């Protein structure tokens, strides 16, 4: 009886580990950045998800006004790096959204002042 419990416990641990590894392997990686150098806003995003079709849009806004929208697509990795002249003393928002294998995603926005 004790041997059966030990075997059952080992199987549960193996199953739990395989599920967590599987979930970690399928989660997309999204890295984004909004920095300023004087009146230049530097916007970047990198979306990685192995073997999947990725469509990414990056948008810089001042309030509700869109200042720039950039998009790209690819498989496994898509990177966007763009710069734009902006005013100082204002608050800007960088939004990143798109699809991975047709499933929509939206990253948390970056809000920064220049």
pLDDT digits (tens, 9 = 90+) for 64-96: 999 999 999 999 999 999 999 999 999 999 999
CB burial of residue 56 (10 Å; 0-12, 13-18, 19+): buried
- Could you tell me the CATH superfamily of domain 28-113? Immunoglobulins (2.60.40.10)
pLDDT score for 63:
96
pLDDT confidence of 7, banded at 50, 70, 90?
Answer: low
Mean pLDDT of the chain: 87
Report the SS3 class of residue 24. Answer: helix
* Domain map (residue ranges) of the chain: 28-113
Does 57 have pLDDT greater than 90? yes
Report the SS3 class of residue 14. Answer: helix
């Amino acid at each position: 009886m004790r041997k059966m419990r030990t075997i059952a416990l080992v199987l549960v641990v193996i199953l739990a580990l395989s599920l967590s590894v599987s979930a970690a392997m399928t989660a997309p990686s999204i890295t984004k950045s909004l920095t300023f150098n004087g009146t230049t806003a530097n916007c970047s995003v990198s979306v990685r998800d192995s073997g999947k079709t990725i469509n990414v849009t990056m948008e810089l806004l001042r309030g509700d006004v869109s200042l720039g929208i950039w998009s790209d697509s690819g498989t496994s990795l898509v990177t966007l790096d763009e710069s734009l002249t902006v005013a100082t003393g204002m608050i800007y928002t960088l939004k990143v959204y798109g699809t991975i294998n047709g499933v929509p995603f939206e990253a948390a926005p970056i809000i920064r002042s220049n």
